[in-house]
Amino acid sequence: MNKNEAKEEILKLRKQLEIWANKYYDEDNPEVSDYEYDMTMNKLKALEKEFPDLVTQDSLTQKVGGHVKEGFEKVEHEVPLQSLQDIFSFEELEEFKERVYKAAKENNFKEDEVKFVVETKIDGLSAALEYKEGKFVRGATRGNGLVGEDVTENLKTIKTIPKELPEPINIIVRGEVFIGKKEFEKMNEERELNEEKTFANARNAAAGSLRQLDTKITKQRPLDIYIFNVQKIEGKEFNSHFEELNYLKKLGFNVNPVLIPCNNIPEAIDAINKIGEEREELTFGIDGAVIKVDDLKLREKMGTTSKVPRWAIAYKYPPEKKETKLKDIICQVGRTGAITPMAILEPVKVAGSTISKTTLHNEDFIKEKDIRVGDTIVVQKAGDVIPEILEVKKKNRDGTEKVFEMPKVCPVCGAPVIREEGEAVSRCIGIECPAKLVRNIIHFVSRECMNIDGLGDKIIEQLINKNLISNIADIYFLKFEDIATLKKNGQKFTQNLIDAINNSKNNDLYRLIAALGIRHIGTKAAKTLAKKYKTMDNLMNASLESLTMTDDIGEISANSIYEFFRQDQTVDLINRLKEANVNMEALESEDIDNRFEGKTFVLTGTLEKFTRKEASDLIEKHGGKTSGSVSKKTDYVLAGEDAGSKLTKAQSLGVEIITEEQFEEMMK
């Protein structure tokens, strides 16, 4: 490769890496695996090493990825939060050893005096915690290593961060914010239940949670932190890194639990292998092992580059790949009705754990890779956690392999399966599908729908587990003694719940329509349908043409409604709700003016006289709409106490800012 070709390739690689780094560091939404990113970075490093005069300071080989997110205050780090040089083989570790021993010799250290510490490289987001006279005063993300984001209030929501130390010292420590494996799985399950987008991996879930502008959201996320370094300390001196970390434990910090002292590099290699073998059993995700020089004076002599310390290195475990047989493809139905094909494999051990099944995501994924039952496939663990099929060994086929087709009916309840245009997911549309039961009932009883107060998630699961309800309509046939068995001395609770269930029978028709959970039909569309069709029977019998001609109901929504009411399960549910005397007609509504028609409001801060939901409902009731972000198109920002970045942005754009009192005046 000549110099011009190298320059062109270097620019191409830098551009691609910048895009991926932006997705990873700034948007917390990675496009590629860590391994693919690392391999691309290695190509760039190799080219820059071969053509050193093409190296520029804006290359990601020379700087730390990441920028300060808009809305956060900038924090200049007193001590830079550097990255680490990555290696992928023990041969490269030998090069690190030679570099360390050469520096030791030049600075009059004996070779046998050079010790190392091997630690887990936690897969999370790096942060610096600053204490003044023992009190936690500020916390910041790494950012670009020199300037980070002030996330003090968000860090205060992490229970394992001490707010005050037992000694009145001034200290800055560095740690990794993460979400544990079990906590991550549980969080994603809850998001799926609520039909929210699930997180791709625990690292980005942690990063996105810590970098929330709304601290209330951060508080809801199961964040934790492990401290792994002293950045700066006043009034104390230490000889070794190991000594520092033991001191941090005494101060009450949650220190990285995997710390292996080593006398030499062979011992360090043993430690790396040990962590690799046991990483499946760790409660947190890792993306490698870190080897550090233990002696702090030797570290000081070795120094750093603009991006990485010379006294530490990160060993990245190569993703282990294995061949196995795909025995079958079965379909699982999730709580939202999404049907996911699963590959059943001949059990194979990969990266320390036995894999016998893995997700095939959707129909497109199977077709793209041409995966067939009976194929020999190559599997690896993506991100060291999730097993995935990399490729199919098509040359091994003998003609007995079977092409897979997505089911036309739900494997659980037999209702039709649909795949809407533009979507990759196929779904069961059965309202009484057992796989969707918990999610359907939670939606049905929610405040925006039938508003049955007291019928929370745990109570619903208890009723299902005790076989007291097996579908939505069963709620209206519950007896006092059924509910009373759920709580000790729960007479008052039981009566309140019975009253709430009975009261919900009198709800307006639009609430019932919204509660049915028809795809694409929310409260606003439900109100439109109730206003036009007046009764449930009229809506059920409406033609596709009539539905399509309805205001605010597009072709996709109309088709969704039409198909929903053609199902036997839907007809059965409506008949049972009628039997329970649930209202099926639109109620006469008072005339409400559209004083906010064409106006967009943004709500920010803590409101005292209204909840945000109440204020939003009032705005929408009077023809306006609400938005989650401020722009030039925003008409009003309703600001309460502790209004944050939205208020600042509104001021900079000249958007009219109103108080609750002014909002009340507008409502009169």
Catalytic residues: 121
Considering only the C-alpha atoms of the chain, give the largest distance between any 2 of them, rounded to a whole number of Å: 92
Q: Which helix (H) or strand (E) holds 239?
A: none
Report which residue type is found at 124: G
Give the pairing type, strands 353-359 and 338-350.
Answer: antiparallel
Tokens at 560, concatenated: 């969704």
Q: Which helix (H) or strand (E) holds 384?
A: none
DSSP class per residue in 28-86: S--SS-HHHHHHHHHHHHHHHHHSGGG--TTSTTTS----PPTTSPEEE-SS------E
Check the CA dihedral 649-653-654-656 and report its sign: negative
Q: Which residue has the tokens 């991006």?
A: 307
Contacts for 7-10: CB closer than 8 Å, 24+ residues apart? 7/51, 7/54, 9/47, 10/44, 10/47, 10/48, 10/51, 10/54, 10/59
- Distance (Å, rounded) from C-alpha 459 to C-alpha 455? 6
| Residues 168, 176 contacting (CB under 8 angstroms) | no
Half-sphere exposure of 533 (CA within 13 A, CB side): 26
- Distance (Å, rounded) from C-alpha 436 to C-alpha 163? 43
Report which residue type is found at 385: V
- Distance (Å, rounded) from C-alpha 105 to C-alpha 98? 11
- Distance (Å, rounded) from C-alpha 252 to C-alpha 237? 19
Tokens at 166, concatenated: 């037992």
- Distance (Å, rounded) from C-alpha 468 to C-alpha 615? 37
Residue 91 backbone dihedrals phi, psi, to 5 degrees = -65, -40
Residue (of 334, 354, 542) closest to 428 by Cα position? 334
